Structure 1
Amino acid sequence: MFTNLSFGRSAVAVRRLSPPRVPGGATVGRRLSLIAATAVSAAALVLGASAPATAAPDPGATHIVESGDTLSEIAQWHGVALGTVFALNGLGPSSVIHPGDVIRLTSDTAEVSAPPADAPSAARTHTVRSGDTLGRIAAQYGVSLDSVFELNGLSRSSIIYPGDIIRLTPGEPAGSGGQEEPARTGYSITLGPNATSRVVLTYDDCPRSLEAFSDVVSWAGSNDIGLVIAPTGDCIGGFQARHGVDLPALARANGQYVINHSVSHRDLTTLSCADAAAELGAPGVVTNFGRPPYGALNSAAHCGYAQVGMSPWLWSVDTKDWTGKTQADVVASVVGQAQPGGTVLMHLQWNGFSPSAIGQMREGLAARGLELCRAYPGTSPVHLPSSLPC
């Protein structure tokens, strides 16, 4: 049970009795809500917590954000160091809070318990629950946040969701023996409908040419590699007009998996629910999984996906190939960062999209004991199965 510690006063009344706001107390950033109904957790920036300035609040105390609140004021009102508030909630100086958000003021010792000891060679994992942040997870298991980022191909701008599996140590998951992992329970927005330990290579946006696209999807199909292709609707329409070729149909004919990437690559978080749903429709790919442009999601975007019956699918490794990396750089990024069951983000027009690049990725991952997702046996369906036959 959360407790609102405004002590019967409105935020404005309390603010009148408080010191002036500290500039930058809550600035532009990604929203974090710890209310279970949102089912969303933002990635965390862990800062060193310091001792409270005054007597600590009761164990498990929280503050429900009201209009006009800032993190610095909340810390001052409750006699808690600002660094402690950051660490407990996985926030940082650039984080933004909203009315209704629940801010933790003390650690919940019942939730943070020492994990069982694993064999040194076994990989420890954590299944994300509502309210988790990467900072809290790292602190709970006594590992560094940077190592969590590296092991999972994440960054400070990444988002985690309930059901996601966070790797905490290197190595194979306990008991896996290097074999495919059993199907997980629940949908992971970063791993998508791949419930195996095979790595999925995904490609967004639009290819440079029809020849380049055809070469890759036919080569991948003939080598039993299943790529996830996410073209925009504008791209599909352009190739249809110039060449009379349907890119999604061509990819599916070669056993490749095709998902939505919107019509025109608009940031869905800037749209209403209805406009987001329209952006996810035709002439974009009409299917049951979609890649949000820029990986940007909020309540309106989730509402749009729900309206069209589509599940968003993000990624666990971002190669940043769009920065102009060479083929060798992209291959090294994939081989070095991919983890069992991971989803790798690349783009159709950059240097990771070629038979030679994908072949080198396959060889490099094989040397680490990892395999790529397999092609669909025959023509892949428009609506993908809830568990890909990787």
Structure 2
Amino acid sequence: MFIGRRVRRASALAAVSSAVAVCGPGIALAPSAAAATRYCAEVTPLSQRPTLYQGDDGWCVKELQSRLARNGYASNKTGYFGPVTAGYVKNFQTKKGISATGVVNSATWLKLMGGDAQETPAYTSSTQYFENRGPNHTNRIVLSFDDCPKSYTAFKSMVDGAAAQKVTLVLAATGDCQKGSTFSSSYARSKGQIVIGHSMTHPNLRTLSDAEVLAQIDPASAGAGYMRPPFGSWDGRVTSLMGSKGVRLWAWTRDTGDWAGASQSSIVNYVSTTSQPGDTILAHMGWNAFNPTALSQMKAGLGKRGLSFCQAYVGNTAPVALPSNLPC
């Protein structure tokens, strides 16, 4: 199954617009009708995609332009929703029987997506496996953090805080990070936290040869049996190659979009108000919610809705090799 890709570097977007709106799978930081930087990726389901307007920019506009190109338009992926892109959108809307406003709403997105809303179904059997949901078959929510922490102090503070709050996190560190001084797989596991891999060097796996894909299996992925695919990018070939080495892909169902520099309060509010039972939430160790205070606030916010985070290995050492059904 083709899932798509995620890009999360704020530096490439910061100079484009001073008003950043991380919408859809992220956090709304500006009025929806105002021209702003908007986030989504090919993996983003219809329900989490923002409405796009002429003047917008960012990775969601690149996703729009990519979809237009697949539908026969000579659309370059500039990341800016200018008059050329608006013209293509209006033409596409006319052909599909949608009001030709040039505004990319849900109806337009669905047609651009070929009628596939890309919503990940809930598990109905313990033997099912959906890459977006991973091995969590419960209604508890998995909070995961990718990449690498800024310092060992920040890492230890979060790991200790999660243990104290009786939360099991999923930490998906790159191979380079696992070898560095700011992250310790053994310490994280000793505090009941799950460690999976995120590839050795964070490439787009779909662009690699078979041998190169296999070479990206980092120690934590090999040990846990699960890898977070960089950019949320994989296909059937990558899945098969990883499976041949006993590694499953584990992506996410909800992306905080924290990479865009959203404030801690915005991230907390997004997780607290939009998360659904069984979600795997994507965040990053180097951004604003990787601290015990944010975790406590998210936990409290979810609690008000009768939801809770995974508690798989609270009070115990998490195993290196993970089971096919997490005891969240």
| Distance verdict in 2 for CA 1:360–1:146, change over 3 Å | farther
Match of 2:70 in 1: 95
User: Out of 160, 163, 167, which is 1:225 matched to?
Assistant: 167
- What fraction of aligned residue pairs are identical, expressed as a percent? 37
Match of 1:12 in 2: none
Match of 2:305 in 1: 368
Are 1:261 and 1:285, in contact at CA under 8 Å, matched by a contact in 2?
A: no
Matched position secondary structure for 1:346: strand
Is 1:333 aligned with 2:308?
A: no
| Distance verdict in 2 for CA 1:327–1:384, change over 3 Å | same
What letter is aligned with 1:225? V
Q: CA deviation at 1:252?
A: 0.3
TM-score by length of 1: 0.54
Match of 1:387 in 2: 325
Match of 1:355 in 2: 292
TM-score by length of 2: 0.64
Q: State how 1:258-277 maps to structure 2 within 5 Å.
A: 258-277=195-214
Are 2:67 and 2:113, in contact at CA under 8 Å, matched by a contact in 1?
A: no
Answer with 303-312 or 188-197: which moved more: 303-312
Question: In the aligned structure 2, how far is the partner of 1:256 from the partner of 1:276?
Answer: 27
| Distance verdict in 2 for CA 1:249–1:363, change over 3 Å | same
Are 2:126 and 2:325, in contact at CA under 8 Å, matched by a contact in 1?
A: no
| Distance verdict in 2 for CA 1:43–1:363, change over 3 Å | closer
Q: CA deviation at 1:92?
A: 5.3
Q: CA deviation at 1:282?
A: 3.6
Matched position secondary structure for 2:268: helix
Question: In the aligned structure 2, how far is the partner of 1:283 from the partner of 1:224?
Answer: 23
**Structure 1 runs (4+) greater than 3 angstroms displaced:** 41-46, 91-94, 155-161, 181-185, 281-286
Using CA pairs under 8 Å that are at least 6 residues apart, name the structure with larger relative contact order, 1 or 2. 2
Answer with 252-261 or 277-286: which moved more: 277-286
RMSD, aligned CA: 3.4
Q: CA deviation at 1:334?
A: 0.8
Q: CA deviation at 1:187?
A: 0.7
Question: In the aligned structure 2, how far is the partner of 1:96 from the partner of 1:45?
Answer: 18
Match of 2:176 in 1: 234
Question: In the aligned structure 2, how far is the partner of 1:230 from the partner of 1:30?
Answer: 19
Q: Which structure has the highest helix share of the two?
A: 2
Matched position secondary structure for 1:351: coil
Superimposed CA distance per residue, residues 94-129 of structure 1 (whole angstroms, 9 cap, x where no aligned partner): 3379xxxxxxxxxxxxxxxxxxxxxxxxxxxxxxxx
Are 2:195 and 2:220, in contact at CA under 8 Å, matched by a contact in 1?
A: no
Unaligned runs of at least 5 residues, structure 2: 6-41, 48-65, 73-104
Match of 1:140 in 2: none
Question: In the aligned structure 2, how far is the partner of 1:380 from the partner of 1:364?
Answer: 26
What letter is aligned with 1:165? P
Match of 1:21 in 2: none
Are 1:277 and 1:307, in contact at CA under 8 Å, matched by a contact in 2?
A: no
Q: CA deviation at 1:93?
A: 3.2
Count of paired positions: 235
Q: CA deviation at 1:304?
A: 2.8
Question: In the aligned structure 1, how far is the partner of 2:235 from the partner of 2:209?
Answer: 10
Whichever of the two has the greater Rg, that structure is 1
Q: CA deviation at 1:320?
A: 0.4
